[in-house]
């Protein structure tokens, strides 16, 4: 996943709001969101190559999400799949801090990542390119391919759009949140980060919604948890060959 927006205790009706885009090579086999046959409590999409996921929630309210940290000079070709870190948390019983503390010992084995794990609206962030485990505080936060709240243009634009939606709407519309995730605006070159991939690729990767011949936004996800722990999970799967898409919506109550 390459864009993750979080709003904690930032809306009168919802304790947690997540809006996320998963960017990936189109050729990588993927299963759309659903409850897993081998772990029926997990609701998530699935990477069919390595078995992990980029964003998921369980019926007990365990939540996990991951983004890659862009650092091409440090890539390890034989590193384990980062998506398995989300799956490991979702299938486990540990609290977020102990899980991340244990992960810290072996985090150097992986390519760069940002991992968000938690239970309901009690979330923690950890990056193997950052400085320790951080509790995510109430407010609006954004992650892309650097550290939490790094003000890359796509993060600043997405956070501002989310803040406007939350300030104007008592009843939150998933459609408005999806509109934020579908933004294809390209910033000027002077605003782009230098992550070592060259200016041409920086431009391609700079929008909130990415579209290129071999790589782009494969799915957009909205996760809402209200004050009564009722969850709405909407995934829009995008067709790389056209502007067509498929929506799937799931609803359940945590612990119910």
Count structural domains, the chain. 1
- Comparing CA positions, the residue from 94, 150, 153 lying closest to residue 124 is 94
CATH number of the domain that residue 185 is part of:
3.60.60.10
Place of tokens 């890659």: 68
Mean pLDDT of 225-239: 96
β-pair type (134-135, 139-143): unpaired
Mean pLDDT of 59-74: 97
Q: Where are the alpha helices (DSSP H) in 189-233?
A: 199-205
Mean pLDDT of 11-25: 96
- Comparing CA positions, the residue from 19, 27, 48, 29 lying closest to residue 182 is 19
pLDDT digits (tens, 9 = 90+) for 92-126: 999 999 999 999 999 999 999 999 999 999 999 99
Mean pLDDT of 212-238: 97
What's the domain range around 175? 3-253
Distance CA 131, CA 126 (A): 8
Distance CA 58, CA 11 (A): 22
């Amino acid at each position: 996943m390459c864009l993750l927006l979080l709003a904690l205790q930032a809306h009168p009706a919802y304790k947690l709001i997540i809006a996320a885009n998963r960017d990936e090579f189109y050729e990588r086999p993927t299963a759309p969101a659903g409850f897993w046959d081998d772990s029926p409590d997990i609701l998530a999409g699935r990477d069919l190559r390595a078995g992990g996921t980029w964003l998921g929630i369980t019926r007990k309210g365990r939540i996990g999400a991951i983004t890659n940290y862009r650092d091409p000079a440090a890539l390890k070709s034989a590193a384990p799949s980062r998506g398995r870190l989300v799956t490991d948390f979702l299938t486990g019983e540990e609290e977020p801090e102990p899980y991340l503390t244990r992960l810290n010992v072996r985090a150097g084995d992986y390519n760069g990542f940002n991992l968000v794990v938690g239970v309901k609206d009690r979330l923690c962030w950890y990056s193997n390119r950052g400085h320790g485990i951080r509790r995510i505080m109430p407010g609006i936060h954004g992650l892309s391919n650097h550290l939490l709240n790094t003000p890359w243009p796509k993060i600043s634009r997405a956070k501002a759009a989310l803040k406007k939606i939350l300030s104007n709407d008592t009843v939150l519309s998933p459609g408005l949140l999806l509109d934020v995730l579908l933004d294809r605006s390209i910033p000027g070159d002077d605003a782009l980060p230098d992550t070592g991939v060259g200016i041409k690729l920086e431009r391609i990767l700079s929008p909130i919604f990415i579209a290129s011949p071999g790589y782009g936004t494969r799915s957009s996800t909205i996760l809402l948890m209200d004050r009564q722990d009722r969850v709405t999970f909407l995934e829009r799967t995008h067709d790389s060959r056209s502007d067509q898409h498929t929506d799937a919506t799931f609803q359940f109550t945590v612990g119910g």
